[in-house]
Amino acid sequence: MEYKLTFKDYNEALKKGKLLGLKCKDCGALTVPPKMVCRGCTGTNMDITEVKGKGKIKTFTVVNVAAEGRQGEAPYIIVLVELDEGPWIMGNLIDINPQKAGMELIGRKVAMGTKVFPGDKYSAGDAARPLFSFDD
Ligand SMILES: [Zn+2]
């Protein structure tokens, strides 16, 4: 089986601010981030499509202790966002002091930008991550 959209290609697009997903030609479901098979029907009949990156916060967590080598990034907020097109993706939330984040964040509308983070000893090099800011 062949990957329609590899993580490498997904990440290269993300570095340029483009969020890519896979749209199923059989059931219409959108799979983001890319997977081998459709999240709706497990089929492989999918096309690469660009996703807007707007949605709302479903839940979040504040990270006070970062992973080894990333201490300079803490504290930061990781959000789980339900995109307007359906899929849920994770990213960082900016625009708010992590120490002041509370449950009122849930349901807030956000829009996606991206940031490229340098690689570390656990990764294969630079990687982009969605960076969400408020959009309401
Ligand atoms: Zn499908």
pTM: predicted TM-score of the whole model, two decimal places: 0.90
- Statement: residue 69 has pLDDT above 90: no
Cβ atoms 76, 50 nearer than 8 A: no
Question: What pLDDT was estimated at residue 120?
Answer: 81
- Statement: residue 1 has pLDDT above 80: no
Ligand 1 centre and the CA of 48: distance in Å? 13
Average pLDDT estimate for 1-9: 86
Backbone angles phi, psi at 43, to 5 degrees: -80, 175
Backbone angles phi, psi at 15, to 5 degrees: -60, -30
Question: What pLDDT was estimated at residue 81?
Answer: 98
Question: What pLDDT was estimated at residue 5?
Answer: 92
Question: What pLDDT was estimated at residue 74?
Answer: 94
Q: Which residues surround ligand 1, an ion (CB under 5 A)?
A: 24, 26-27, 29, 38, 40-41, 43
Three-state SS sequence of 53-88: CEEEEEEEEEECCCCCCCHHHCCEEEEEEEECCCCE
The CA radius of gyration of the chain, in Å to the nearest whole number, is 16
What's at 113, amino acid-wise? G
Ligand 1 centre and the CA of 90: distance in Å? 22
